[in-house]
Amino acid sequence: MCGRFSVYIDDVELKNRFPNHDVAPFQGVKVTNFAPTMEMPVIIENQVVNMRWGLIPAWSQNKSFANKLINARGETLLTKPSFKNLVDTQRCVVPSNGFYEWDTASKLPYFVQTADGSLMNFCGLHTLWMDENRRPVNTFTIITTKSNQIMSEIHHRMPVILELGSEYKWLNRANNFAAVQNLIKPIDDSSISITPIDKVS
């Protein structure tokens, strides 16, 4: 599960990680508690596009899907109508500096970030939806997987975090889903740190 995350990204690091993208849309985007239906820049194969969090399938008659589809289970992408037609060509990367998770037992919040504090890139899917006035709305969802061992102590799911260097493999539309499916897995325990926090503000 990933229901809140932080978009407080170092611009220089982002440019170094994505040197072929115009990352200017990220300038000034500093949100420590990014929530569903909010909008942020998202990285696709050859550009950066502002999108709303909460995928609305192109065939949907209204935007009610948005709050239901903030996450997509990696194990069932090929069987769900909302996702199965997106996995080959509509993949994206959602940059972050960490996400929040609530302990399923204690309900206390934790902040999960990379062990060295560097950029954290989530696997995502995106699509274009036309609203009732025929205006285009770009939306995205974050793919989740089972938790690694350290994360499983507070929750059984976690977002798919791409390992350094695998971002372009995921983004490259020349790769069909079969070629990138192995990226959908829990990140190594040693790659993340989990810190209890008083509140998410």
- Taking only the tens place, the pLDDT of each residue in 76-113 is 999 999 999 999 999 999 999 999 999 988 899 999 99
Q: What is the pLDDT of residues 10-66, one digit of tens each?
A: 999 999 999 999 999 999 899 999 999 999 999 999 999 999 999 999 888 877 776
pLDDT of residue 122: 98
pLDDT of residue 63: 78
pLDDT of residue 75: 97
165: in domain: yes
Which residues are known to be catalytic? 2, 101
Q: What is the CATH number of the domain that holds 82?
A: 3.90.1680.10
160: in domain: yes
137: in domain: yes
- DSSP states of 126-195: EEEEE-TTS-EEEEEEEEEEE--TTGGGT-SEEE-BPPTT-HHHHH-TTS-HHHHGGG-SPPPGGGEEEE
Check residue 75 and report its DSSP letter: G
15: in domain: yes
Q: What is the pLDDT of residues 137-156, one digit of tens each?
A: 999 999 999 999 999 999 99
Among the listed residues 7, 6, 24, the one whose alpha carbon sits nearest the alpha carbon of residue 15: 24
Look up the domain containing 165 and give its range: 4-196
pLDDT of residue 201: 53
Three-state DSSP at 61 gives coil
Please count the structural domains in the chain: 1
pLDDT of residue 1: 67
177: in domain: yes
Quick one: 10 exposed, middle or buried, by C-beta within 10 A (0-12, 13-18, 19+)? Answer: middle
109: in domain: yes
201: in domain: no
42: in domain: yes
pLDDT of residue 67 exceeding 80, the answer is no
Longest CA pairwise span in the chain (Å): 48
